[in-house]
Structure 1
Amino acid sequence: MEKNIIMTKWIQKSQFESDNPSGHSFTMFDKSQDNGDVIGFAPKALMLSSLAGCSGLDVVSLLEKMRAEVADFKIEVTAELTDEHPKFYNKVKVDYHFTDSELQPEKIQKAVNLSVTKYCGVMEMFRQFSDVEIEIHLHNI
Structure 2
Amino acid sequence: MEFHLKECGIQTELQFSELCVSGNEEYGFRPFQLMVASIAGCSGSVLRKILEKQRTDVEDIQIVADTNRNPAEGNRIEEISLVFTVKGRDLDPAKMQKNLETARKNCSMIRSVEDSIRIVESIEIEELGG
Bin of the TM-score, shorter chain as denominator length: 0.7 to 0.9
Matched with 1:89 is 77
Provide the identity percentage: 20
Q: TM (normalized to structure 2)?
A: 0.86
Q: Which residue number corresponds to residue 2 of structure 2?
A: 7
1:17 maps to which residue? 11
- Tell me: CA distance 1:41–1:108, structure 2 relative to 1, closer, same or farther (3 Å): same
Matching residue of 2:24: 31
Q: Deviations over 1:94-136 (max 9, x none)?
A: 11111124323343222211111x2011112231112221111
Are 1:68 and 1:108, in contact at CA under 8 Å, matched by a contact in 2? no
**Equivalent residues in 2 for 1:93-132 (5 A)?**
93-116=81-104, 118-132=105-119
Query: Where in structure 2 are there 5+ consecutive unaligned residues?
Result: none
Partner of 1:84: helix, strand, or coil?
helix
- The residue aligned with 1:3 is none
Q: Which aligned pairs between 1:62-77 and structure 2 lie closer than 5 A?
A: 62-77=50-65
d(CA) in 1 for partners of 2:16, 2:82: 29
The one-letter code of the counterpart of 2:114 is R
Structure 2 vs 1, CA of residues 77 and 126 (structure 1 numbering), >3 Å: closer, same or farther? farther
Number of residue pairs aligned between Structure 1 and Structure 2:
128
Partner of 2:47: 59
TM-score for the superposition, normalised by structure 1: 0.80
* Secondary structure, aligned partner of 2:83: strand
8 Å CA contact 1:73, 1:99 repeated in 2: yes
Two-structure CA RMSD over aligned residues (Å):
1.9
Residues 29 and 43 of structure 1 are in contact (CA less than 8 Å); yes or no, is this contact kept in structure 2? yes
